[in-house]
Amino acid sequence: MKARSDESLDTPMTQMMDIVFLLIIFFVVTASVDKDVVDESINLAQAKSAPAVETVDPRAITINLTSKGEVNIALRPMSMQALYNFLVNMRTQSGNSLPVLIRCDAKTRYKDIGNVMDTAAKAGLYRVRLVAMLE
């Protein structure tokens, strides 16, 4: 029987450091992508009795709706017709079960929220939720 040499048991630290740096870069890039989707000027309404949702489908489309009724996706302003075209295009690519999240300001009129919900329904998307802050 041959005895093992201790030299072959060394951990390759250079490759480990490369993997760690690649993971750090990946998490920094994905964190900044999520930040670009959310309109920070929107003050969400408070939810008193709704259960908190911990997991969000990564395919979800986040629609930002300001108190003035202005719609944007990923901070890109859209008209209702442009929103409809975008949602139809996304439904064609991902299917009818694509979730839609509406982040609306606490002072947004119900009429404007209804218009966005109707647009999503006309586009064939039925998984629509409103986003609110838990008290």
> For residue range 54-107, what is the model confidence (pLDDT) as tens digits?
677 788 889 999 999 999 998 889 999 999 999 999 999 988 889 999 998 889
Task: Say if residue 129's pLDDT is above 70.
Answer: yes
The pLDDT value recorded for residue 3 is: 63
Grouping H, G, I as helix, E, B as strand and the rest as coil, residue 64 is strand
pLDDT per residue as tens digits for the range 41-53: 787 888 777 777 7
The pLDDT value recorded for residue 95 is: 85
On whether residue 81 sits in a domain, the answer given is: yes
The pLDDT value recorded for residue 34 is: 55
Name the strand (E) or helix (H) holding 117: helix 110-122
**Confidence label for 37 from pLDDT (cuts 50, 70 and 90):** low
On whether residue 60 sits in a domain, the answer given is: yes
On whether residue 24 sits in a domain, the answer given is: no
**Domain containing residue 86:** 46-134
The number of folded domains in the chain is 1
Average pLDDT score over residue span 107-124:
94
**CATH code at position 99:** 3.30.420.270
> Which two structure tokens, joined as six digits, stand for 121?
């329904």
The pLDDT value recorded for residue 43 is: 78
Packed helices 110-122 and 80-94: angle between N→C axes, nearest 10 degrees: 40
Between 32 and 44, the more confident residue is 44
